[in-house]
Structure 1
Amino acid sequence: MTNPIIRQNIGIDISKASISVCIAQKLLDQSVLFPSSKSFENTLSGFEKMNRWIQQFIDITVEVHYTMEATGVYYESLAYWLFENQKPVSVILAKQFKSYAQSLNIQSKTDGIDARILAQMGVERKLSLWSAVSGQMRQLKQLSRERNSLMDEQTAIKNQLHALKHSYQPDQRSIGRIEGRLALIAQQIKEIQEEMSEILANDPALKERIANVCTIKGVSLITAIAIIAETNGFALFHSRSQLVAYAGYDVVRRQSGTSINAPTKISKKGNKHIRKTLYFPALSAAMHEPAMKKTYQRITEKTNIKMKGAVAIQRRLLVLIYTLFKNNQPYDPN
Structure 2
Amino acid sequence: MVQLGIDVGKSKIDLCLLADGSKGRKKTKVLKNTPSVAAAVLEWLAAKKVDITCLQVVLEPTGTYHEYLAYGLHEQGVRVVLASPARVRDFARGMGILTKTDTVDAFVLACYGELRSPEVWTPPPPEISELRALLRRRDALLKDAMREDNRLEKILSTRPSPLVEASVRKMIAVLYAELHAVEQFINSHIDNHPGLKRDLGYLISIKGVGPQIGPNMLAALRSHNFSSAEQAAAWFGLVPKEKRSGSSVHYRARLSKSGPAELRAKLFIGAMMAVKYNRQLKATYGRLLAAGKCKMSALGAVMRKLVHQCYAVLKHQCCYDENYGLAA
Further displaced range: 42-51 or 76-85: 42-51
1:248 aligns with 2:237: yes
Provide TM-score, normalisation by structure 1.
Answer: 0.82
> Post-superposition shift, 1:216?
0.7
* Structure 1 residue 284: Cα displacement: 1.0
TM-score, normalised to structure 2, is 0.83
Which digits, 9 at most, give the CA deviation of each residue in 1:156-204, with x for residues without a partner? 222332333343x444554443333222222111111111111112211
Q: Whole-Å Cα distance in 2 between the matches of residues 255 and 61 of structure 1?
A: 45
1:59–1:51 distance in 2 versus 1, CA, 3 Å: closer
What amino acid does structure 2 have at the position aligned with 1:248? G
Question: Residue 308 of structure 1 corresponds to which residue in structure 2?
Answer: 297
Q: Distance in 2 between matches of 1:163 and 1:42?
A: 43
Which string of whole-angstrom CA distances, capped at 9 and with x for unpartnered residues, describes residues 279-317 of structure 1? Answer: 211211122112212222333454563222222222222
Partner in structure 2 of residue 238 of structure 1: 227
CA distance in 2, matches of 1:240, 1:283: 21
Q: Which position in structure 2 is the counterpart of 1:3?
A: none
1:212 aligns with 2:205: no
Deviations 1:4-46 (A, max 9, x none): xxx222222334444332222358xxx8634313343333354
Aligned partner of 1:286 among 256, 263, 275: 275
1:274 aligns with 2:259: no
The residue correspondences of 1:159-198 to structure 2 (distance < 5 A) are 159-167=150-158, 169-198=159-188
Whole-angstrom CA distance in 1 between matches of 2:265 and 2:52: 48
Q: In structure 2, do the counterparts of structure 1 residues 192 and 289 end up closer, same or farther at CA, with 3 Å as the change threshold?
A: same
1:250 and 1:74 map into 2 onto residues whose CA distance is 29
The code of the aligned residue for 2:314 comes to F
The residue aligned with 2:128 is 137
Q: Does 1:116 align with 2:107?
A: yes
The CA deviation at 1:320 is 2.1
Q: Is the 8 A contact 2:208 2:274 kept in 1?
A: yes
**Residues 297 and 210 of structure 1, relative CA distance in 2, 3 Å threshold:** same
- List aligned pairs for 1:215-226, cutoff 5 A: 215-226=205-216
Once the two structures are superposed, residues 88-116 of structure 1 have per-residue CA deviations (whole angstroms, 9 ceiling, x without a partner) of 323344576567667x6445363444433
Identity %: 24
Indicate the RMSD between aligned Cα atoms, in angstroms: 3.0
TM superposition shift of 1:136: 1.9
Matches within 5 A, 1:46-125: 46-60=37-51, 63-93=54-84, 97=88, 105-108=95-98, 110=100, 111-123=102-114
In the alignment, structure 1 residue 262 sits paired with structure 2 residue 256: no
- How many residues are paired up? 322
Distance 1:109 1:298, change over 3 A: farther
Any conservation in 1 of the 2:238–2:304 contact (CA below 8 Å)?
Answer: yes
Question: Is 2:189 aligned against 1:199?
Answer: yes
Distance change >3 Å, CA 240–CA 14, structure 1 → 2: farther
**More off after superposition, 254-263 vs 142-151:** 254-263
Gaps of 5+ in 1: 1-6
- What secondary structure, in the 3-state scheme, does the structure 2 residue paired with 1:55 have? helix
Q: Which moved more, 1:187-196 or 1:87-96?
A: 87-96
Change (3 A) 1:282 1:228: same
Counting only pairs closer than 5 Å after superposition, residues 138-153 of structure 1 correspond to structure 2 as 138-153=129-144
Greater CA deviation, 41-50 or 76-85?
41-50
The residue aligned with 1:13 is 7
Aligned-pair distance for 1:217?
Answer: 0.9
Range moving further from structure 2, 13-22 or 307-316: 13-22
The alpha carbon displacement at 1:142 in A equals 1.4
Equivalent residues of 1:251, 1:264 under 8 A apart: yes
183-192 or 85-94: bigger deviation: 85-94
Instruction: Report the secondary structure of 1:261's partner residue.
Output: strand
1:323 is the counterpart of 2:312: yes
In the TM superposition, 1:33-48 aligns within 5 A as 33-48=24-39
- Deviation of residue 212 (structure 1)? 0.5
Q: 1:105 to 1:123 in 2, by over 3 A?
A: closer
CA distance in 1, matches of 2:171, 2:53: 59
Task: Point out where structure 2 has 5 or more consecutive residues left out of the alignment.
Answer: none
SS in 2 for 1:242: helix
- Aligned partner of 1:25 among 16, 19, 28: 19
